[in-house]
Amino acid sequence: MTKSRMALMSSPRRAVIALAGLLLSACAVGPDYHRPTLPHPTAFMRTPLPATIGSDAHNDAQHFATDAAITPDWWQLFGSPALDALVQRALAHNPGIDGAQAALRQAQENVAAQRSDYFPSAQLSYSPSRQQNAVGTLAPTLNSGQPLYTLHTAQLSISYAPDVFGLNRRTVESLQAQAEAQRCQLQAAQLTLSTNVVLAAIQLGALRAQIEATQLIIDADRRSLALLEQQHQLGGASGLDVATQESALAQAQQTLPPLQKQLEQTRDLLAVLTGDTPADGGKTDLELTDLKLPHALPLSLPSQLLEQRPDVRAAEAELEAANAAVGIAVANRLPQLSLSALYGGSSTRFAEMLADDNVFWSLTGSVSQTVLDFGGLKHRQRAAEAGWQQARAQYRTTVLSAFQNVADTLYALDADARALAAVDTALVAAQRTLTLTQQQQHFGAVGALPLLVAEQADQQARIAQIQARAARFSDTVALLQALGGGWQNVTSASQSHRSDSAAVSPELKETKP
If you write DSSP's letter for every residue of 136-163 in order, what string do you get?
TTS--SSTT--SEEEEEEEEEEEEE---
Longest CA span, the chain: 135
Can you give the pLDDT at residue 456? 76
Can you give the pLDDT at residue 260? 94
Domain 1-30+120-162+337-368 has CATH 2.20.200.10: yes
Q: Please give the residue that has the higher pLDDT: either 489 or 324.
A: 324
Binned at pLDDT 50, 70 and 90, residue 319 comes out as very high
CA distances from 225 to 221, 232, 239, 438 (A): 6, 10, 11, 12
Enumerate residues 6+ apart whose C-beta is below 8 A from 474: 199, 202, 203
Can you give the pLDDT at residue 252? 87
How many Cα atoms sit within 13 Å of 40 on the Cβ side?
Answer: 7
How many Cα atoms sit within 13 Å of 302 on the Cβ side?
Answer: 18
Q: Please give the residue that has the higher pLDDT: either 289 or 56.
A: 289
Q: Does position 245 have pLDDT exceeding 50, yes or no?
A: yes
**Using one digit for the tens of pLDDT, what is the confidence trace for 185-233?**
999 999 999 999 999 999 999 999 999 888 888 888 888 788 888 878 8
Domain 33-118+166-289+301-334+376-489: state its class.
Answer: mainly alpha
Can you give the pLDDT at residue 500? 37
Can you give the pLDDT at residue 119? 92
Residues above pLDDT 90, as percent of the chain:
49
**Using one digit for the tens of pLDDT, what is the confidence trace for 425-456?**
888 898 899 889 888 877 777 766 677 778 77
Q: How many CB atoms lie within 10 A of CB 312?
A: 23
Q: Does position 285 have pLDDT exceeding 90, yes or no?
A: no
CA distance 404 to 302: 11
47 class by beta-carbon count within 10 Å (0-12 exposed, 13-18 middle, 19+ buried): exposed
Q: Are the CB atoms for 68 and 434 separated by under 8 Å?
A: no
CA distances from 184 to 5, 32, 251 (A): 54, 22, 50
CA distance 485 to 478: 10
Can you give the pLDDT at residue 13? 53
CA distance 157 to 127: 14
Q: What is the mean pLDDT of residues 79-83?
A: 93
Of 111, 120, 157, 112, which is closest to residue 337 (Cα–Cα)?
Answer: 120
Residues above pLDDT 70, as percent of the chain:
87
Q: Does position 25 have pLDDT exceeding 70, yes or no?
A: no
CA distances from 132 to 108, 135, 147 (A): 52, 9, 5
CA distance 195 to 101: 18
CA distance 440 to 450: 10
Binned at pLDDT 50, 70 and 90, residue 397 comes out as very high
Q: Strands of 121-132's sheet, edge to edge?
A: 121-132, 148-160, 336-347, 359-368
Q: Please give the residue that has the higher pLDDT: either 137 or 331.
A: 331
φ and ψ at 354, to 5 degrees?
-105, 20
Give the mean pLDDT of the chain: 84
Binned at pLDDT 50, 70 and 90, residue 149 comes out as confident
What are the boundaries of each domain within the chain? 1-30+120-162+337-368, 33-118+166-289+301-334+376-489
DSSP single-letter state for residue 374: T
Can you give the pLDDT at residue 140? 65
**Using one digit for the tens of pLDDT, what is the confidence trace for 461-512?**
889 999 999 999 999 999 999 999 888 766 543 333 333 333 333 445 444 4
Mutual orientation of helices 167-233 and 81-93 as an angle, nearest 10°?
140
DSSP single-letter state for residue 68: P
Can you give the pLDDT at residue 343? 93
Can you give the pLDDT at residue 66? 82
Of 291, 278, 284, 231, which is closest to residue 441 (Cα–Cα)?
Answer: 231
Binned at pLDDT 50, 70 and 90, residue 380 comes out as very high
DSSP SS3 for 317: helix
Q: Are the CB atoms for 270 and 86 separated by under 8 Å?
A: yes
Q: What is the mean pLDDT of residues 303-317?
A: 91
Our measurement of the distance from residue 108's CA atom to the centroid of its chain's CA atoms, rounded to an integer in Å, reads 16
How many Cα atoms sit within 13 Å of 133 on the Cβ side?
Answer: 16
What's the pTM value of the predicted model, to 2 decimals?
A: 0.81
Of 491, 494, 502, which is closest to residue 187 (Cα–Cα)?
Answer: 491
Q: What is the mean pLDDT of residues 355-367?
A: 89
Can you give the pLDDT at residue 449? 67
Q: Which of 23-37, 61-75, 92-106, 285-299 has the lowest average pLDDT?
A: 23-37
Q: What is the mean pLDDT of residues 381-398?
A: 95
Residue 346 bridge partners (DSSP): 153
Residue 148 bridge partners (DSSP): 132
Binned at pLDDT 50, 70 and 90, residue 80 comes out as very high
53 class by beta-carbon count within 10 Å (0-12 exposed, 13-18 middle, 19+ buried): buried
